[in-house]
Every structure is written in structure tokens, then in C-alpha cells.
Structure 1
Amino acid sequence: MTMLRAERVTLGYAGRAVVHDVSLDITAGGVGLIGESGSGKTTLARAFLGLLTPMAGNIWYGDQTLKKADMRKFRKDVQPVFQAEALDPRMRIGASVAEALPRAARARVPELLEQVGLDPGLVARRPHQLSGGQRQRVVIARALAAGPRLLILDEPTSALDVTVQARILDLIASLDTERLLITHNLAVVQRLCRTSHVLFAGRVVESGPTRDLLANPAHPYTRALRDAVPKLGGPPSSGRAEAGGPTEAVPAEAGCPFRLRCPLAAPGCERPPALRDVRGRQVACHRAEDVLVT
């Protein structure tokens, strides 16, 4: 079942488009948005949350666009999980979690803290008195207070050390909610998402089952991201494409947005590539068959 869907969505700021003609569904099993900083992940997440109006296209909530949807129900069904710094430093933990609860239900705050593995006795503390991992759990507890069906998580573990990250990931995986995960961490998306979409310069360049997409990428940018991940106990990877470099793309009419960084770029890459089916996934690359490992 698809709860949220982007249909040919273009997004931008001050009239300048930064996400271009994106279509994707948020379906069961977890959906990941992968890409480097500046690729458009958070901008797209803001549109899914109703915080940014598309310049073109629509965001669908069930069978209605967000413009026509019951926003009270939408806000209950779809909750954001931002990074721990989103907590108001002036508010005590109990008050932060209780904000989403009706007055009569605020006795549930200790229960919500226990659900995310926190001592209910923390209700009287303020954010600066908690560790990073504890603050992130408070943010999750706040989102769960509304009883959501979908969590939109924006880099929920990026500021945490690896041991705390593991505990937060275990918690997210155990929750009885669907999730859209915005991340540049491939290990996290592999753990939490059945399906993933790779964004480069505001365009989807590859979509498909996460396991297949990371095991055998069909786009040179996806392969570059995967090969850039450090590997313990082995030599540095020698990926065929560089993951670093400017995120700004050449205009769509000038060809593939990745071609200025792509080692496989050829004369035909001056034509803009459309998403097409390649071995069970969607890929925007003229040379996807050359990228795949047979």
C-alpha cells in the first residue's frame, strides 16, 4: 500500500529548482533516499511533510493531493524524526514529548520514554543534561506520541557514535511503523529499507530493491557512493567513478547531469537519460549495462 507518493515533483527555493521531475512511492518495508549533501534528499522530505509546496507536480496522500487532504489526519499519520538538536533547549523532556498529546493523555509520557528505552525519570531534565543518544530517543518518542503510521527520518544517527547508532537503529527497526529514511549512510539504509532511490543533483538516477542496488549498482554514481565506503582490513577501494566533487549538475537539456564526473561518459551522454528498466530496477544512465557486474 502506498501512503505517500510524489508525482513528477519539481521543488525549489526563490524560484530556482533544486529537485527536478521526481516520481516515487513510499511503500511498505521502508524506503531510503540516498545521496551526498546537496542532492535534494531533505528538500524532497520537506515536500512529503507538507512543509514545501511543489513548483510543479503533486504529493499524494492516499487518493488525495496534500492540497485537498485532511491535514489533521495527515499530521497524525506522518511524523518527522529530525536530529537530536531539534529539541527546544528551554523545555523539559516531559513537556517536549507531551506537546503532541491531548491534555488527557499526557500521563502516557513515561510510557513513551520506556518504549524508546529511556528512564521515565528523565521527564524533568532538559536536553543539555542528556547524551546525544538519549536526545535522539526523545525525538523519536515525540514522533511516536501522535501514533503515526509513517516516520520520515532525516539522518537520525549522523551525530551519534557507532555504539549509540546501533541502539538507535535497533529501536527504529523494532517500531511498528513504516519509514522514509533520508541518509548518506549506505549501511543504515541497507538495514532499514527494502527499497531505495539514489538522488544526484535533484534527480533520481537509480531506484530499486536496496539489496540489489547496493550489491550490484547499475549507475556509476551509485557505484561511486558504494565504493567510497571505507572497508576495514583491506586496501582502499578503487571505484571507477569519483563520489566527491561538485553536486551542481549541467542543465538537463545539456545531457546527463553526472557526465562531468563520470569516467564512462561518452559522446552519447549529451542526451538527457530517462529512467528505464534495467534488470528489475529503474536507472537513468545510457551505459547502465556497462556498469553492472555480470
Structure 2
Amino acid sequence: MTVPAPVLRAERVTLGYGRTAVVHDVSLDVTEGGVGLIGESGSGKTTLARAFLGLLRPMSGDIWYGDQNLKKADMRSFRRDVQPVFQAEALDPRMSAGASVAEALPRKERDRVPALLEKVGLPAELAGRRPHQLSGGQRQRVVIARALAVSPRLLILDEPTSALDVTVQARILDLLAGLGTERLLITHNLAVVARLCRTAHVLFAGRVVESGPTAELLARPAHPYTLALRDAVPRLGGEPPPARGRTEARPAATGCPFRLRCPLAVAACERAPEPREVGEGRRAACHRAEELLA
């Protein structure tokens, strides 16, 4: 079976602000079926998303859109094909819902606004309302409708449901899952990744520490950080998960960046592990990955 070419690809990308690198030597593909970037605040997810959107140029490495290096790509075409979906707060409070969606359309196509609102489950009569007159879920649907206006190939979603209550989150996830548009999802919410993404990459301190099929990665983590993220998810009933290691937020300056928080850290962790194959379609940057998978 032919493997589809990635929509976007990062090759050994390092990103930063000024001279300070915050994402280090990341390589990953955005492929069919949805790809998730998972990690806590400060892990580098949003910085990587900005680079994938062409808003931040790598300090080193390359980002490819199909067979085009993003440094040389036709950015007008690229920005039509790759659309961001941020949190609902991204709406201009001075503009009505309809005007926000119409802004993305050529003037001759602005009669499509009612159909776009209906596509995301909003009645056309909401087009005249401003953001403060809409609920959180309605505002998020307007943001999605605006992104869909140009028929994108890929949506890059940065925490699209984090400000919504659980019921509204479920509706938005159902909507996104049914759109038929490829997606790169940036989130700390494992349930959202499991719902929308076939593949996931886990970032810690600007480095990809684990990658693989989402279902397998969450069921049997190959990196202690992935395991800690999974165990931190609240569960109804039963005993709380065991505490795993220390909780210092800062990464180690040398060796494995997670070793100061890792319950499995050994002397070998003073040497930084390289990402390596630990199973079919799975990679982990951990000296003890096989022990976790055993």
C-alpha cells in the first residue's frame, strides 16, 4: 500500500526568539488522519505551530509543504491551503460573526456566509451578532467557519476547545471529526488527541520525546513523561494514580531534559537519549523505553 506524502514536514527544525532556542532539532510529518502535538505549557507546541503556519522562520532545519520548502513556497497559495483555528478569543469584538467569516472570502463569494455558518451548526440569523452576543461554543464555530471559507487542505488547531465546557467541547470535536479536512492539533488534552488524531507526538522542553499511533502511545507509553501526562488525567471513582517522580517544572540543562522529574532516571540519563525506534511506527527518546513497554 502506498503511503501518502505528508502535507507538512519538519526536518531537524530548531526554533527560537532572538538567539534563544525553544524548540530543538524536531523532525515530524503531518500526515493523513490527524496529527497531535501534546505537551504542557512551555513545551514548544505553539512555537512549532507558528513555524508550520509560516509565521516563524527556523533558526536551522527546514519545513516543507508537499515538495516545496516553505522558505520558497508561494505563500499566497499556502495560506489558502493551511488555515489556523485558534481559540474563540481570536474574533474581532468590533465585527459581527458574518463579517468575520466574510473577511476570508473574495467579495463576489460573500453570499456563502450563511451556508458556512450552517455547515458548522449555526443558524444563518446569527450572522449579525457580535462575539459578546454569542456563547463560547458559538464563537468557536464562527472561528472554524472562517477557516473553512477558503476550502483549506489542512487546519492547524491550537487548543480549539480549552475554553469551552465539556458538553460544548464534545459538539465541537464531533464537528471537527466530521469535516473531512486534515488537521494538526496542538493541545495538552489527551482525550481530544485520541478523538481527532491518528498519530501523536509528545513534546517536553522543546523536544519530541515520543511519537507513534495515538491509541498505542496512550495505552502503552514508551516515555515516562507521556506516562505522567496520562496518569494526570482525572478519573471518576477508584484510587488516584500513583505519584511518579518529582514535579520540578524546569528541564535538566544537560542529559535527558526530563531526568530531574523522572522516576526511572539512572546514571545513563546524564547522557541525552536520541529518538529511536521502539516498535512498529513508534519512536521514543528514552534509555529505558523497552522497560516501560515490557
Report the TM-score range of the alignment, normalised by the length of the smaller protein.
over 0.9
> Is residue 13 of structure 2 the alignment partner of residue 12 of structure 1?
no
Q: Which moved more, 1:24-33 or 1:282-291?
A: 282-291
> Is residue 278 of structure 2 the alignment partner of residue 245 of structure 1?
no
Aligned to 1:148: 152
CA contact (8 A) 1:223 1:239 kept: no
Q: TM-score, normalised by structure 2?
A: 0.97
> Is residue 173 of structure 2 the alignment partner of residue 172 of structure 1?
no
C-alpha offsets along residues 20-78 of structure 1, whole Å, 9 cap, x if unaligned? 00000000000000000000000000000000011010110111111110111101110
Query: Which residues in structure 2 correspond to 1:127-166 (within 5 Å)?
Result: 127-166=131-170
- 2:116 aligned residue (93, 112, 117): 112
Aligned to 1:276: 276
Return the letter of the residue paired with 1:133.
Answer: G
> Is residue 74 of structure 2 the alignment partner of residue 73 of structure 1?
no
Q: TM-score, normalised by structure 1?
A: 0.97
Return the letter of the residue paired with 2:273.
Answer: P
Q: CA RMSD in A?
A: 0.9
Is there any run of 5+ residues in structure 2 with no aligned partner, and where?
none
C-alpha offsets along residues 232-253 of structure 1, whole Å, 9 cap, x if unaligned? 11111115345x431x3223xx
Partner Cα distance (2:243, 2:274) in 1: 24
Q: Following superposition, which runs of at least 4 residues in structure 1 exceed 4 angstroms of deviation?
A: none
- The sequence identity of aligned pairs, in percent, is 77
CA contact (8 A) 2:199 2:214 kept: yes
Aligned to 2:38: 34
Aligned to 1:216: 220
CA contact (8 A) 1:223 1:241 kept: no
Return the letter of the residue paired with 1:255.
Answer: G
Aligned to 1:260: 260
Partner Cα distance (1:142, 1:241) in 2: 44
C-alpha offsets along residues 249-293 of structure 1, whole Å, 9 cap, x if unaligned? 223xx210000110111111111100011122100000111222x
C-alpha offsets along residues 69-94 of structure 1, whole Å, 9 cap, x if unaligned? 01111011100000000000001111
CA contact (8 A) 1:221 1:241 kept: no
Query: Which residues in structure 2 correspond to 1:220-235 (within 5 Å)?
Result: 220-235=224-239
Is there any run of 5+ residues in structure 1 with no aligned partner, and where?
none
SS at match of 2:212: strand
Query: Which residues in structure 2 correspond to 1:178-197 (within 5 Å)?
Result: 178-197=182-201
> Is residue 202 of structure 2 the alignment partner of residue 198 of structure 1?
yes
When the two structures are aligned, how many residues end up with a matched partner? 289
- 2:63 aligned residue (44, 59, 62): 59
CA contact (8 A) 1:47 1:54 kept: yes
C-alpha offsets along residues 176-198 of structure 1, whole Å, 9 cap, x if unaligned? 21000001000110010000000
Return the letter of the residue paired with 1:26.
Answer: V
